[in-house]
Chain A
Amino acid sequence: MNRIQKTFARCKAEGKAAYVAYLTMGAPTLEKSFAAAETLLGEGVDILELGVPFSDPVADGAVIRAAANRALANGVTLADVLAGVSGLRARHPDTPVVIFTYYNILYSYGLKRFADEAAQRGVDAVLVVDLPLEERGELLDVLRPAGLTLVPLVAPTTGPARVRAIAEGLEDSFLYAVTVKGTTGQRASLPPELASRLTEIKRLVNLPVVAGFGIRTPEEGAAVASHCDGFVIGSALVERFMKDA
């Protein structure tokens, strides 16, 4: 079992939902974002998603965009984030670390170079917002030999056959179920059909499912995750640590 599988097995044994935390690295500073990761691990976060900023974050709402702009103004790069993972990995040997970004960042870095360095630093998986099923082969071809996996996403618009196809071959990862149509960020409410949607997705795939987008607190997350295996908090955490700046 890899770190991701072990983590979900442990959460299940403990009868809790996996808490996945997203942070935009480099905001308000690179050091502070890694310190925020440490703080969150102390608060019971199970999996870290480290966001690498991109100039054109089309899938992100205002909060994460503002953080990405700050990180870019600080000159933070993929190499900086990867370098920081080494320290995290040394202190937290069992915590899954996911690099979360847009495809151009990886493509520009060189896919093979990225995969090899990420594996060497202790990264477990990669989540690429703008890399759907149809285009992911090129990246998987270099991730697999390096021992890394990919975190796939399904959206409210994804039909059942496609949900299955997206999950296929990534059984060593977890599936990110986007709760709403739209960008990241907090919302007045989550859609009423979310519970049945998560139940449906769970039935279709055989890897852990986490729900993300619009979840503000671990309590809210745990409620949503009663229909799946975990939840993601992103914008709310980014906002909190930007405020602390």
Chain B
Amino acid sequence: MKTHYGIYGGQYVAETLMTPLHELEKAYADAKRDPAFKAEMDDILVHYVGRESPLTYARRLSEHLGGARIVLKREDLNHTGAHKVNNTVGQALLARRMGKTRLIAETGAGMHGVATATVAALFGMECEVFMGAIDVARQSPNVARMKMLGAKVHAVSEGSATLKDAMNEAIRDWTANCDDTFYVIGTVAGPAPYPEMVRDFQSVIGKEARRQCLKAYGKLPDQAIACVGGGSNAMGLFAGFLEDPSVTLVGVEAGGKGLATGEHAASICGGRVGVLHGSKTYLLQTPSGQIIDTYSVSAGLDYPGVGPEHAYLADTGRATYTTINDDEAIAAFDALCRFEGIIPALESSHAVAEAIKRAPTLPKEAILLVNLSGRGDKDMENVERWKSGRVGR
């Protein structure tokens, strides 16, 4: 089992959680070797999630921009409307294998919470979701969905009342209830084995996209672009192309009001190495090591850390990380609605915005593969509010 990526990753948790983590490592290693596990996972991904997800050529948008072809990997079309479900199916299967009866999760935008509540219902498990109070307010449709699916939602008002604080509370719950509870982490962060496990479950995105791209265009994409909150949709996409040096990997962090303003959530582009939520990685923190309140119009990117493998890929230069500000993301949201008839999640809109920036500088033959990690139904109200100047925070 891989616990570190260079200096990053690790298992920086209280001793109480070390034995549960070791049990999880072992269960996951066993499951990986078990063909029945893979068969059941694949069956659910096909017949329940609706995989594989299509690759859509964004023709009108690309032609309007007059450069590279933008191609969308449609994770928004998965059941529950985002990539998050790829991972929750895997973790719920593991939880069942380990005899756990209760799932807990942290959530930012609420997509991971919904995806966890969904698989809990599917497997007949109890589910409790921790969500920052600010996110409860700005992603209310997802709160309603989680409740409808039978999950209990805890609004966390401590700290910045967003994703990081939801994760703190989930870790506390797990520490107290680790006997019967499985903590379903929603991204490639947290202590080992979560970053590797979540990446493995999400790697279906990159594997499919690679095959689909070769089939449809007879070549690999020139660039693969994804937004980075904790980094799971990006790691899932990148996983398909890590061994293809010709493919440029681009991670897009939330620039919020701009890097220079300090109001952003760009851990790699604007942070410093530290330890939070079980791993060593890039963090937004004060000079004395206190974690800073982040800001982004997009709740799912509003997190002060990033998965340790991204920190490693940034250092080695295999992937490039950049930022997109709120206004650029909103413009890309509009563009995708108007040119393609697709309402993207605000998180995914950051990746679309980066593609919109890059496409005109590249020839028509170039392919920009964008991970459309989720759909934007949850963001309607938030976007309206942003446009009328009443920003989400």
Contact = CB atoms under 8 A, between A and B. Distances in A.
A54 B159 CA distance: 11
Contacts of B164: 56
A74 interface: no
Contacts of B16: 155-157, 178, 181-182
- Most B CB contacts (10 A, CB to CB) among A103, A133, A166 go to A103
Contact of A130 (B12, B19, B178, B291): B12
Contact of B15 (A106, A108, A158): A158
Contacts of B261: none
Interface in B118-175: 158-159, 164-165, 168, 171-172, 175
A136 B244 CA distance: 36
A59 B14 contact: yes
Interface in B87-112: none
A157 B288 contact: no
B290 interface: yes
B15 A154 contact: yes
Interface in B260-290: 272-278, 280, 283, 285, 287-290
Interface in B272-315: 272-278, 280, 283, 285, 287-291
Contacts of A140: none
A153 B289 contact: no
Interface in A126-140: 129-135
Chain B at the A interface: SS class = mixed
Interface string B8-19: 001111111111
B176 interface: yes
Interface string A175-186: 000100111000
A162 B13 CA distance: 15
Contacts of A107: 273-275, 280, 289
Contacts of B13: 58, 130, 132
B19 A135 contact: no
A58 B275 CA distance: 12
- Most A CB contacts (10 A, CB to CB) among B3, B15, B275 go to B15
A65 to B, nearest CB: 7
A205 B277 CA distance: 30
Contacts of B3: 134
Nearest to B280: A107
B276 A162 contact: no
- Most B CB contacts (10 A, CB to CB) among A55, A102, A105, A135 go to A55
Nearest to A109: B289
Interface in B170-217: 171-172, 175-179
A107 B15 CA distance: 19
Contacts, number: 115
B258 interface: no
B19 A157 contact: yes
Contacts of A158: 15, 18-19
B240 interface: no
Given A135-B10, A178-B15, A108 B287 contact: yes
A72 B290 contact: yes
B289 A54 contact: yes
A54 B275 CA distance: 11
A104 B285 contact: yes
Contacts of A106: 289
A78 interface: yes
A192 interface: no
Interface residues of B, number: 39
Contact of A104 (B159, B168, B275): B275
Contacts of B360: none
B275 A130 contact: yes
Contacts of B289: 54, 78, 104-109
Nearest to B292: A55
A153 B159 contact: no
Contacts of B158: 65
B11 A132 contact: yes
Contacts of A206: none
A59 B175 CA distance: 8
Contacts of A109: 288-289
Nearest to A134: B11
B176 A182 contact: yes
B20 interface: yes
Contacts of B276: 56, 104
A55 B176 contact: no
A131 B225 CA distance: 35
B274 A104 contact: yes
B20 A131 contact: no
Contact of A56 (B10, B20, B168, B178): B168
A31 B276 CA distance: 29
A15 interface: no
Given A129-B14, A130-B275, A158-B15, A181 B168 contact: no
A153 B283 CA distance: 26
B362 to A, nearest CB: 40
Contacts of B19: 155, 157-159, 162
Contacts of A77: 288
A49 to B, nearest CB: 15
B14 A58 contact: yes
Contacts of A65: 158
A183 B172 contact: yes
Given A56-B164, A182-B176, A183-B176, A132 B18 contact: yes
B12 A103 contact: yes
A200 to B, nearest CB: 15
Interface of B: 3, 10-20, 158-159, 164-165, 168, 171-172, 175-179, 272-278, 280, 283, 285, 287-291
7 contacts: A56-B164, A57-B168, A107-B274, A158-B18, A162-B18, A162-B19, A182-B175
The 3 A-B pairs with the shortest beta carbon distances in the complex, nearest first, are A108-B289, A182-B176, A155-B16
